[in-house]
Structure 1
Amino acid sequence: MGQPGSPGRRVAAIAKWVAGPVMAAAIGLLMATAVATPAAAEGRIRIAEQYGLGYLPLHVLRQNQLIEKHGKALGVDVTVEWVQLSGGAAMNDALLSGSIDLGSAGVGPLLTIWDRTKGNADVKAIASLNDMPLFLTTSNPKVTTLKDFTDADKIALPAPKVGVQARVLQMAAEKELGAGRFDALDKLTVALPHPDATAALLSGSGGITAHLSGPPFQYQQLDDPKIHRVFSSYDVLGGPHSFNLIWSKQSFRDGNPKTYRAFLDALKEAMDYINSNHEGAADAYLAQNKGSLDRAYVLRLLQDPDIRFTVTPNRTEAFADFMYKVGAIRNKPASWKDYFFDDLHGETGS
């Protein structure tokens, strides 16, 4: 899947997304002001999103003001506040501190916070945001399997050891390197937001030789002839799976029923919009990400049959079973319904 322009042009485009220092400062501000931040009231919702096409439903919500629209239908004037963070750990810290009401990240961080807050804050998933493959890519020509990595390699992840990319890497290691070796590559991982990691991998800076990411970053990387794919998460999990989810505390859902309902109804409308209007969805993505990606390139990604937008969880139980087996969570869910609010329990999820 190609994009016009030289690798240098793509690095420049990605660099426009890079907000590492700004993002770090934002996280610090969130943590420093958490005590002074009042709990959300009915009609106010604070949502944290991340980088990448996996958050397109949230971009559509924001661009088309769908939460506000559905709030009015329920008789509530909803004020929506947006925060951008990177990585599931930062997302969960912000949610538990009271700085945000809804967090969004991969399946791994959701299971971590569900397990951590079970019987207390009771954080659960509201919905899935998509099914998407995650590619491990590398610039090291000697690496064709996980066995080929050495201590000279650095694998960039948004949240080492805890994020969904980290869990996929561990699941792949367990599968390829053998039982009990799930964490064999953890020592090679470093924390970098996807835009920073993509720029580093393409430019060869910072010693980064590999990156486990998601759309559109992995496709941009593969446009460069010196980058190749090591594996796809669809191979690791045996098929398509949920990539990103969105979640909240039970107390927010209970205390803000109309605002919560407005969000969920808006999210479902956003999914319908994306699936029926790729042109409009691409415009929403580009407007909210403020990058220099070619519009035709985004449209090609949206037409990829491996990329699907749905609220229904898919193969999340595979993550839960693995994380329980390796001791990453203490509570073993009986099914996906244990860590999702009951709004979607009528769906055929997994």
Structure 2
Amino acid sequence: VDIGAAGAGPVLVLWDRTRGSADVKIIAALGEQPNYLITSNPNVKTLKDFTKTDKIAVPAVVVSQQSRLLQIAAEKEFGEGKFNALDDLTVNLPHPDATAALLSGSSTITAHFSNPPYQEQALQDPKIHKVLSSYDIMGGRITPTLLYATSKFRNENPRTFKVFYDALNEASQWIESHKAEAAETYIRIEQSKLDPAFVKSVIDSPEVSFTTVPKGTFKYAAFLAKIGAIKTRPASWKDYTFEELHDKQGD
């Protein structure tokens, strides 16, 4: 695998741990989309309402994008240094399984830090409600998923790298101006059984934008450095991104 995709938290850890060796950096973002913390527990309106009987599903405990978001939110809610206040309530579960467990009502899972389109599917059930959004936590729009590669790959394959980067930008711009066609393309390629109108409603949301410019990543980096998850605190978002992005308005 020459190019990978992951959340900002995992990618920043990779950047930190490969500095001076593989030198992993961010190529581009895969758009601005919110992550919702949703629950079936009617008593949970804020993070402080969760109890020991609640279980919050995340893709990977502590290290995933959603887990880091929950830690940032917990520190805001419970106070400085208490970022891990809810870690004991989190359990590993892939998004499809977590969605099914939450909707079934028969599982121990009472909450899910979700991802599009699963969060939108779950919220169609009147028993499910949103507690907060990643945009609330970070104080603005963020790009939750990022593409990354090693500097070695970029240096040894400059033409391939440029073709990929240009094609990604072209695709992002096309989606922004052809959302109905993009939804139909997604259904066809994924052989999905989702309603095309539902898929279009997800990408049509005013909270969603298909941009390749990273947003909100430096706040992650500062948090990870503060709690010791990464050893190096970057001076700027440009430290962990390739130079193709450096003339953009990222952060």
TM-score normalised by the chain length of structure 1: 0.70
Partner residue in 1 for 2:235: 334
1:142 aligns with 2:43: yes
The alpha-carbon deviation at position 290 of structure 1 amounts to 2.6
- Cα deviations across residues 181-212 of structure 1 (Å, max 9, x unaligned)? 10111111111111111111111244111101
Distance 1:250 1:178 in 2: 38
Partner residue in 1 for 2:191: 290
Partner residue in 2 for 1:253: 154
Partner residue in 1 for 2:93: 192
1:215 aligns with 2:116: yes
**Higher relative contact order at CA 8 Å, sep ≥6: structure 1 or structure 2?**
2
Partner residue in 1 for 2:226: 325
Distance 1:206 1:222 in 2: 17
The alpha-carbon deviation at position 291 of structure 1 amounts to 2.4
Aligned residues: 251
- Cα deviations across residues 294-340 of structure 1 (Å, max 9, x unaligned)? 10111112221110110111111111111111111110011110010
1:311 aligns with 2:212: yes
1:124 aligns with 2:36: no
Structure 1: which 5+ runs fail to align? 1-99
Report runs of 4+ in structure 1 exceeding 4 Å deviation: none
1:201 aligns with 2:138: no
The alpha-carbon deviation at position 289 of structure 1 amounts to 2.8
User: What amino acid does structure 2 have at the position aligned with 1:170?
Assistant: Q
- Cα deviations across residues 157-187 of structure 1 (Å, max 9, x unaligned)? 1122111111110010000111111011111
- Cα deviations across residues 51-73 of structure 1 (Å, max 9, x unaligned)? xxxxxxxxxxxxxxxxxxxxxxx
Distance 1:141 1:276 in 2: 39
- Cα deviations across residues 280-299 of structure 1 (Å, max 9, x unaligned)? 21022212333221101111
Distance 1:233 1:187 in 2: 20
Among the aligned pairs, what percent are the same residue?
A: 54
Paired residue secondary structure (1:136): strand
Partner residue in 1 for 2:168: 267
User: What amino acid does structure 1 have at the position aligned with 2:145?
Assistant: N
Paired residue secondary structure (2:146): strand
User: What amino acid does structure 2 have at the position aligned with 1:289?
Assistant: E
User: What amino acid does structure 1 have at the position aligned with 2:195?
Assistant: D
- Cα deviations across residues 35-91 of structure 1 (Å, max 9, x unaligned)? xxxxxxxxxxxxxxxxxxxxxxxxxxxxxxxxxxxxxxxxxxxxxxxxxxxxxxxxx
User: What amino acid does structure 2 have at the position aligned with 1:322?
Assistant: F
Partner residue in 2 for 1:110: 11
Distance 1:237 1:307 in 2: 15
Distance 2:238 2:133 in 1: 27
User: What amino acid does structure 1 have at the position aligned with 2:121?
Assistant: Q
Q: Which moved more, 1:162-171 or 1:254-263?
A: 254-263
Paired residue secondary structure (2:25): strand
Partner residue in 1 for 2:75: 174
Paired residue secondary structure (2:206): coil
User: What amino acid does structure 2 have at the position aligned with 1:290?
Assistant: Q
- Cα deviations across residues 211-260 of structure 1 (Å, max 9, x unaligned)? 01121111111110111111111111111111111001111111211111
Distance 1:293 1:138 in 2: 22
TM-score normalised by the chain length of structure 2: 0.97
From the superposition, tell whether residues 152 and 219 of structure 1 become closer, same or farther in structure 2 (CA, over 3 Å). same
